[in-house]
Structure 1
Amino acid sequence: MGRQLGRLVVVAVAFGVLDGLWLGVIGRPIYDEALGDLLATRPNALAAAAFYVIYVIGITYFVTTPALAEESGRRALVSGALMGFVAYATWDLTNLAVIEGFPASIVAVDLAWGTVATAVASGVTYAVCRRVPALR
């Protein structure tokens, strides 16, 4: 149990730092311009926290734990990329399907971001856990 909790923390920090930089600095102008009035003035903190908890559990369970069991950094990166693509496609394509005025231009950007961010967070987590015996 301690090992899994440690892995969850590593994933949370890695993904949190990446997504914080993206949403707070790099991607912010892109989303502001493309989504405009669709963006909430203040994000729903409870919904955001629920997403991050669920997503971190998913990355840990479906990506980093199997990659560590196989001792395969490649598996961490590829499975992380696939998970990010599927998760972000679910959000973006559902929004495109049901929200009037949801910009198609944001779909490609967001899919790319989710794919890269999840792959990188998974790879970083794999590398950290391989070097910390208690997390292997």
Structure 2
Amino acid sequence: MTTKTALFAYAGTFLTLLICDGIWLGLIARNFYRDQQGALMLPSPYLASAHLFYLFFAAAVVVLAVLPALSAGSIATAFVHGAILGLAAYGAYDITNLATLRSWPLAMSLVDMAWGTALTALTAAGGYFAVRFFG
């Protein structure tokens, strides 16, 4: 893999992640999360923490989903590997919260895990397409 390929993979992955999650959190599910988390939710998120998550998670998606998909020459590999990674990452967060936090809503965990699975699959596909079309 060349540096150019890696950069296009990361850029496509990162931008897809930001756009999709921005639409989800900012428009589609904003009220859902607020209603589910209630007083646990901050009035506004700590953006530095959010930025760190997006930077690191995009790198993980590239390594664990986009690069295997490029090697296989298969968008299906990007979707499947991305979905598995998303379910594992979001599942670890949500299931741990169910196990350790008082009154953590089951509905919140189920919706968030489904979203994490779909988001990461789409994100991996975005990285794959960025390399195929621009790299």
TM-score range, shorter chain: over 0.9
Match for 2:62: what amino acid?
A: T
Match for 2:84: what amino acid?
A: L
- How many residues align? The count is 133
Superposed CA RMSD: 1.1
Which of residues 50, 58, 61 is equivalent to 1:59? 61
Shift of 1:6: 2.1
Structure 1 residues 85-112: Cα deviation after superposition (integer angstroms, max 9, x where no partner): 1010011111112222211110110011
Match for 1:49: what amino acid?
A: H
Aligned to 1:13: 15
Structure 1 residues 47-106: Cα deviation after superposition (integer angstroms, max 9, x where no partner): 111111110000001100110011011100111111111010011111112222211110
Aligned to 1:121: 123
Shift of 1:31: 0.5
Q: Which structure 2 residue ranges, 5 or more long, are not aligned?
A: none
Aligned to 2:106: 104
Which of residues 95, 114, 125 is equivalent to 1:93? 95
| Matches of 1:121 and 1:79, distance apart in 2 | 11
Aligned to 2:133: 131
| Counterpart secondary structure, 1:122 | helix
Q: Which runs of 4+ in 1 moved over 2 A?
A: none
Match for 1:101: what amino acid?
A: S
Q: TM-score normalised to the size of structure 2?
A: 0.93
| Counterpart secondary structure, 1:35 | helix
Higher relative contact order (CA 8 A, sep 6+): 2
Q: Does 1:74 align with 2:82?
A: no
Match for 2:24: what amino acid?
A: W
Shift of 1:18: 0.2
Equivalence map 1:40-51=2 (5 Å): 40-51=42-53
Identity of matched residues, %: 32
| Counterpart secondary structure, 1:43 | coil
| Matches of 2:4 and 2:14, distance apart in 1 | 15
